[in-house]
Amino acid sequence: MTLIGKLNQSFYDDFLSNYASFIKIEKPLNQKDLNLKLSEFDIGLAIEVSSVDLNKDIALSNKIFAYAQSGLYILATDTTAQKQFISEHQKLGTISGQSIAEMEQEIAKLIQDIYNIRTQKKNRFEYAKKLAWENESQKLLQIWNEVLNQN
């Protein structure tokens, strides 16, 4: 397992250090290097706990888009936003509950299906091109124009 980003030292000391034999930690990367690095992997974890705060439940993190645009299969927890995203883009991943037992069950399924996950990577990469900012920004402009024209 590879974790990329700024390391919270107390989280490492209290939890991750127990699994140091199979967890690799990489420092934050710029966007270009991050996308290149992500393409080396099979699955991206979008593990959010909806009870932390309202934003965790209703917002999508940037990593969802980075994973999708790198062709990774996404394992996302069942926050409101992530459930909606995966429901709209079922080719990109699956949803898990937020309990340890539910995540273990989903990870076991992914391990069983790793061949298909790997062979569909290019298809996910191509599919996710429609999620690029150039396309998504047009939706934002359309909504903005609708709001402006309501007056």
Question: What confidence score (pLDDT) does residue 136 get?
Answer: 80
Contact 72, 124 (CB under 8 A): yes
The residue among 47, 43, 61, 35 whose CA lies nearest residue 121 is 43
pTM: 0.85
CA atoms within 13 A on the CB side of 82: 27
Tens digit of each residue's pLDDT, the chain (151 residues): 999 999 989 989 998 899 999 999 999 999 899 989 999 999 999 999 988 899 999 999 889 999 999 999 999 999 999 999 999 999 999 999 999 999 999 999 999 999 999 999 999 999 999 988 888 888 889 999 999 998 6
What φ, ψ does residue 61 adopt, rounded to 5°? -80, 160
Contacts of 90 (CB under 8 A, 6+ apart): none
